Amino acid sequence: MKYLLNNQETERLLFRKIEKSDFNDWLEFYKNPNSSLHWVSELDSPEIECEKWYEKQFYRYKNNLGGMNVLIEKTSGRLIGHCGLLVQNVDAISELEIGYSILPEFWNNGFASEAAKKCRDFAFENNLSNSIISIISLTNTPSEKVAIKNGMCVDKVTEYGRNKVNVFRIEKVDWQ
């Protein structure tokens, strides 16, 4: 579980492991059609999609493949999204990714950028990787802006999970 940012924080956010009791709060993400606007996949009901999301995170935790952290807004105590370090295979290469998903009602408040920067700094400070990526759909301009604010540049265009994506990257030598 070396990739988890459990008990870390930023100015506005607390990071912690996902718990089964977070399900109903995160279900709202899957109820909003804009949440999956940029990702091609066969979607089941919001409940099933949310359950698959949680099963995947718990699998990651158990198998030391990183995983998302719950993001709690300090002032309200509310779950506002997830962000974390994920071990991913892209073009048959194992990479460390910063992934982020924010509940739509909290979009455009800088939370994804704040959380992603914390993940980047945590990964480099703890020597988890010499390079970090973010995998972003070609149509997802808001997520691209987060990656750019995180010091990342497009490294390549590829296909990932049946989606055409930009792979944004930052090297540790270019950090700070």
Give the whole-angstrom CA distance, residue 23 versus residue 6: 18
User: Does a structural domain hold residue 173?
Assistant: no
State how many domains the chain has.
1
Give the whole-angstrom CA distance, residue 171 versus residue 80: 28
Assigned token pair, 91: 């073009």
Give the whole-angstrom CA distance, residue 121 versus residue 108: 22
Assigned token pair, 132: 């970090």
- pLDDT tens string, the chain, 176 residues long: the values are 789 999 999 999 999 999 999 999 998 888 876 666 555 556 678 888 899 999 999 999 999 999 999 999 999 999 999 999 999 999 999 999 999 999 999 999 999 999 999 999 999 999 999 999 999 999 899 999 999 999 999 999 999 988 899 999 999 999 97
User: Does a structural domain hold residue 6?
Assistant: no
User: Does a structural domain hold residue 115?
Assistant: yes
Predicted TM-score (pTM) of this structure: 0.93
Task: Give the distance, in angstroms, between the CA of residue 59 and the centroid of all CA atoms in the same chain.
Answer: 16
User: Does a structural domain hold residue 25?
Assistant: yes
Owning domain of residue 22: 13-131
User: Does a structural domain hold residue 19?
Assistant: yes
What CATH number corresponds to the domain at position 69? Answer: 3.40.630.30
User: Does a structural domain hold residue 147?
Assistant: no
User: Does a structural domain hold residue 92?
Assistant: yes
